[in-house]
Amino acid sequence: MRPFEAVVADHGPVVLRVVRALLGPADADDAWSETFLAALEAYPRLRPGSDVRAWLVTIAHRKAVDRLRASSRAPVASADVATLAGGVEDESDEAVAERDPALWAALAALPFKQRAAVAYHHVAGLPYAEVGALIGSSEVAARRSASDGVAALRRTWAREEAS
């Protein structure tokens, strides 16, 4: 079994993207930290041959749901677009442009199941059966949530490009 440091190096970035997609950058760092601390605690009991990324996404999902329940907050308003894009100070203009704030804001505005399905399938690469198990849907319904989510994002994004 690999040292936990290798798990952080291999999967840290994708888990950060997943929690950003789920919660927005403001809460993403805390959710990432909670996810990896819980994973570190449980790692010695993880069975050899397990899909480490799927395991981490499962933990991240639970942490994100806990946070959303605790705050039961409204979706991030589009006024927060600049914050959404960042969460890091002193970044270059180039980095901000790459981040595509409009897309992340649109993601934040999606219903949770669509947002989660997009994050788990398209960002984390989980198959729809596993996505469904996480969000409490069938495989078919998970696929539909992701495709509805992507369709909504595409509409928003296309509008941004046109404007």
Binds other proteins (CB under 8 A): choice among 10, 33, 66, 71: 33
Q: Which residues contact 20 (CB under 8 A, 6 or more apart)?
A: 28, 87, 104
Of 56 and 72, nearer to other proteins (C-beta) is 56
| Ranges within 110-129 binding other proteins (CB under 8 A) | 118, 122-123
Residues 72-111 that bind other proteins (CB under 8 A): 88, 91, 95, 98-100, 103, 107
Q: How many residues bind other proteins (CB under 8 A)?
A: 39
**Choices 57-65, 66-74, 75-83, 147-155; region in contact with other proteins by CB under 8 A:** 147-155
Give me the phi and psi of 62, to 5 degrees please. -60, -40
Shortest spacing between CB 13 and other proteins, in angstroms: 5
Instruction: Decide: is 65 part of the binding site for other proteins (CB under 8 A).
Output: no
Q: List, as one string, the DSSP characters of 65-129.
A: HHHHHHH-PPPPPGGGHHHHH-SSSS--HHHHHHH-HHHHHHHHHS-HHHHHHIIIIIIT---HH
Considering the complex, state which of residue 39 and residue 134 has its C-beta at the smaller distance from other proteins.
39
Residue 20: DSSP 8-state = H
Both tokens assigned to 82: 């600049």
Region of 136 on the Ramachandran plot (φ > 0 left; ψ -120 to 50 alpha; else beta)? left
- Region from 35-43, 50-58, 63-71, 76-84 binding other proteins, contact rule CB under 8 A: 35-43
Question: What residues make contact with other proteins under the rule CB under 8 A?
Answer: 1-6, 8, 12-13, 16-17, 20-21, 29, 32-33, 36-37, 40-41, 43-44, 88, 91, 95, 98-100, 103, 107, 118, 122-123, 150, 153-154, 157-158, 161
